[in-house]
Amino acid sequence: MKNKILLTACCLIACAVFIDACYANDALSVIHSRKSVRQYTGEKVSRDDLVTLLKAGMAAPSAVNKQPWVFVAVTDGATLVRLAEKLPYTKMIVKAGACIVVCGDMSKALSGAEREFWIQDCSAASENILLAAESMGLGAVWSGMYPLQDRVDHVRSVLGLPDTVIPLNIIAVGRPQGVEKPQNKFNEANIHWEKW
């Protein structure tokens, strides 16, 4: 009986170690599987899936924990078409079926020279959204808006954004056709150890 208990305990410990190893590597797997998806099936993205992505975005770090981000989730076909009309690199949102516009709310941003940290904060939130989409089997791609004023103005106009809100990017979200594949972007020449 003692041997069976000991064997069971050893098996449980081995399973726990194996499960921990799998979860530890899951994040790296998602990071290295992420790709920019521009080809979509046209299948709708559920509100629940979009909320999951937005929760991931809001889990990002931000300077002084200001969280200066706000998001506009768009699923209405007519609005997607209007957004894509004057944005040369976002035509895929129409077929994607949804997009998330990641914005900085200057009323929540730091002041002075530190104000520009909103860009880093919203970029971290954007990357979280991209990684979450990959982990959920969704496709996503980031298209920049800021600092190109004509693009910012267009998005502001279509979405009715107040002057205090600056759109940083649009993330297309949808069911991928499976055309795009992840790329190995590792380049050791970009690494310097200890000093330049």
The domain ranges of the chain are 1-33, 47-174
How far is it, in rounded angstroms, from Cα 145 to Cα 151?
Answer: 5
37-55: average pLDDT = 97
State the greatest distance between any 2 C-alpha atoms of the chain, in Å, as a whole number. 76
Is pLDDT of 55 > 60? yes
How far is it, in rounded angstroms, from Cα 101 to Cα 72?
Answer: 5
How far is it, in rounded angstroms, from Cα 98 to Cα 53?
Answer: 12
94-103: average pLDDT = 97
pLDDT confidence of residue 19: 46
How far is it, in rounded angstroms, from Cα 38 to Cα 172?
Answer: 8
* CA proximity to 53, closest of 68, 77, 73: 73
Whole-number Cα distances in Å, 154 to 58, 96, 196: 25, 20, 42
- Residue 155 · residue 101 · CB < 8 Å: yes
Average pLDDT over the chain, rounded to an integer: 92
176-180: average pLDDT = 96
Measure the CA dihedral 60/63/64/70, to 10°.
-60
> Which CATH class for the 47-174 domain?
alpha beta
pLDDT confidence of residue 137: 97
pLDDT confidence of residue 11: 47
> pTM of the prediction?
0.87
183-187: average pLDDT = 96
